Structure 1
Amino acid sequence: MIRVALDAMGGDLGPRIAFESALEVLSQYPNVEITLYYSSYLTSECIPQIHHSRLTLVSCLDEIHAEDDIVLSLFKRRDSTLFKAIDSLRDGADVVVTFGNTGAVVALARHLLGVIRPKLYPALIRELHADPLRCLVDLGANVHCPASMLEGFAQLGAAYVEVLSSEAPKVGLLNVGVESTKGSSVIRQADTLLSEKTWPMYLGYAEGSELFHGEKNVIVCDGMVGNAVLKASEGLLSFLMKQLKEQGGDQSLFETFYQTKRRHGACLVGVNGNLVKGHGGSDLAAMIGAIEYGIDIAQADLAKAITARLDNEGSK
């Protein structure tokens, strides 16, 4: 049985669709149990009257908001839905799914779960394409990244691809050009570090045009760049779909790509537990997709598999 811990309080559209997404997932996956963490301040109108043998509701006295600062007091908010959901990974849950404050998610995950290796910073990975698998690392877990951190992102991304697919990881470092003289000093230092390694396979700089096609299937960048790239790509896709709809065009190709070719949400790797961070603006379909993504990585026992892969590489 896969045990999912779902934080219902992070989405921009309100907690009710978290309840609805939980019920929909349970109807489709008989091997899944969900524990849903919600705020005790919710009114009865926000909480559907639901009863399911594989759904447990946990009322919490606190919730962490999108605008909350990441300060030391965050670690004392033990009654918040996010704290309890992440902490449940130490007590039997297989995966956490949340749509809340990214900074708080990363900080609490590091605090409660610990990192899989010292000085290897956790990163958010987003799949850009599922078949063949290619991904972008990092999406915002880290903003100011020295070269050694980018090197770590390459290792995490490569291990992710090896665990979840049959593809051989081929790393590219996102840059403004492929020439050796291009990029900041940090990017050039990271290029040197990756060029000296036998694993993962490093193919040099990648330009923005290589995000969705080409032989490089692990694209590495700092969190600020990755977050901007992802949101710009999603914004363009939404814009094109809207334009096609207004002009009576066929949206089916875009809809298929958006709904079935990409898992919803990002995976936080590098901590001792499986965690999916969904987009704050997720609708019902996106929430269901994020939970299904969580089920996938729980079945693969992703965190332990990545740890084993990195340990194996480190022992050589």
Structure 2
Amino acid sequence: MSKLTIALDIMGGDHGPPVILSAVQKAIQSITDTKFILCGDENVILPALENLTPQQRDRVVVRHCAQVVEMGEAPTSALRNKKQSSMWSALQLVESGEADACVSAGNTGALLTMSFYLLKTLPGIDRPALVSDMPTAGHHRVFLLDLGANVNCTSEILFQYGVMGSVLAEQLSGVQSPRVALLNVGEEDIKGNAQVKYADQLFRNAKGINYIGYVEGDDIFTDSADVVVTDGFTGNIALKSCEGLAKLVINEVKRQSQANFFSRMMARIALPLLKTVYNRVNPDQYNGASLLGLRGIVIKSHGNASAEAFYYAILQAKQEAEINVPEKIKSRIETVLLEQL
């Protein structure tokens, strides 16, 4: 089997190339069966590669790009005027088949717009969705979508999200017949707006989807479902709220553990437990959000991601490329989704 190739947008993100290049160096050194194409300013990239071994350097190609999509730039402006940018180049490599996946921490709106323009959606999918996984009280992960790609969703789009999320949970978590739920303001049938209620009917009438009904916000982490579907407006707020709470818990534990001598002693005794809790809730390891529904694999990293977080996004891209997520979704659409349209 030939090596996978991942294209990386080096210039995107709030913290610029230094943070991303640090993650890239780690990826090159630790992922030995993958090639990398680094898209960006070669004058910035090349010095960061000097410490690589000749064998590692052989797996790296630098694609010089004269433009950068700014974080505050309007998506339509970026689409029209930034076809020499690192973001466009990384996506174009996936579109041409030169890369199996790409990762960017750049402007979310621009990435969505360019991805939709270059890669197009799979047959039967109206709009792509941003999806990420989060920890639960059980041993499984829960996949939440949409996280902000589309703030207004029709019932049909919510149904499509459920099908795609089901495929992702099955392929990445190994869950047979993943439990799919709709996020709602209550579990009763009378609760929710018209879009959610009609989406509920679409799910109940569909074959091949293990739909379990409505869940509320506090059920996301209880292992009640493997896939939770919502619109991008609600999903993005839920995600950011969860990440903020996780950071609060981590910072509060650190602060309390250093409050006095007794606290420091107790923290040292409890260190293994604290590390376990930290690794479970640390938002960095849930950084990679997949842009599902496209004809190629695109992973969106947080703009303010640390080097460790961007590294996890690269791992996410590799995992999805290995199992060819778009092809798996396409196959499921043909057997489930298109029958409902």
Which TM-score applies when normalising by structure 2? 0.86
- Aligned match of 1:80: 85
Structural mapping, 1:87-166, within 5 Å: 87-91=92-96, 92-129=98-135, 131-166=139-174
Q: Is 1:190 the equivalent of 2:199?
A: yes
**Structure-1 separation of matches of 2:31 and 2:334:** 33
**Structure-2 separation of matches of 1:286 and 1:147:** 33
Which residue identity lines up with residue 55 of structure 1 in the other structure?
A: V
Q: Which moved more, 1:195-204 or 1:237-246?
A: 195-204
- Aligned match of 1:10: 12
Q: Report the RMSD for the aligned CA atoms in angstroms.
A: 2.2
- Aligned match of 2:26: 24
Q: Indicate conservation of the 8 Å contact 2:135/2:281, yes or no.
A: no
- Aligned match of 2:235: 226
CA gap of 1:166–1:48, structure 2 versus 1, over 3 A, is closer
Percent identical among aligned pairs is 28
Which residue identity lines up with residue 272 of structure 1 in the other structure?
A: R
Deviations 1:44-101 (A, max 9, x none): 9x95352522111222111111211122661452101111100101232011011111
Deviations 1:99-147 (A, max 9, x none): 1111111111111011102453110111113842320010001111111
Q: Which moved more, 1:258-267 or 1:139-148?
A: 258-267
Secondary structure at the aligned position of 2:75 is classed as coil
Q: Indicate conservation of the 8 Å contact 1:127/1:134, yes or no.
A: yes
Which residue identity lines up with residue 26 of structure 2 in the other structure?
A: E
- Aligned match of 2:307: 284
Structure 1: segments with no counterpart, 5+ residues: none
Deviations 1:193-227 (A, max 9, x none): 22221231211111111101233111000011111
Query: Shift in Å at residue 166 of structure 1?
Result: 2.5
**Structure-2 separation of matches of 1:291 and 1:66:** 20
Deviations 1:255-311 (A, max 9, x none): 211459954211111000011101111111111111111111111111112212222
Secondary structure at the aligned position of 1:105 is classed as helix
Secondary structure at the aligned position of 1:71 is classed as helix
**Structure-1 separation of matches of 2:327 and 2:194:** 34
Q: Which moved more, 1:114-123 or 1:275-284?
A: 114-123
Q: Which moved more, 1:246-255 or 1:180-189?
A: 246-255
Aligned residues: 314
- Aligned match of 1:245: 254
Secondary structure at the aligned position of 1:247 is classed as helix
Which residue identity lines up with residue 31 of structure 1 in the other structure?
A: D
CA gap of 1:153–1:14, structure 2 versus 1, over 3 A, is same
Q: Which moved more, 1:81-90 or 1:155-164?
A: 155-164
Query: Displaced runs of 4+ in structure 1, greater than 6 A?
Result: none
Query: Shift in Å at residue 39 of structure 1?
Result: 3.4
Secondary structure at the aligned position of 2:312 is classed as helix
Structure 2: segments with no counterpart, 5+ residues: 258-266
CA gap of 1:99–1:260, structure 2 versus 1, over 3 A, is closer
Q: Indicate conservation of the 8 Å contact 1:129/1:261, yes or no.
A: no
CA gap of 1:232–1:73, structure 2 versus 1, over 3 A, is closer
Secondary structure at the aligned position of 1:245 is classed as helix
CA gap of 1:165–1:244, structure 2 versus 1, over 3 A, is closer
Secondary structure at the aligned position of 1:63 is classed as coil
Which residue identity lines up with residue 48 of structure 2 in the other structure?
A: P
**Structure-2 separation of matches of 1:75 and 1:269:** 24
Whichever structure has more helix as a proportion of its residues is 2
Secondary structure at the aligned position of 1:209 is classed as helix
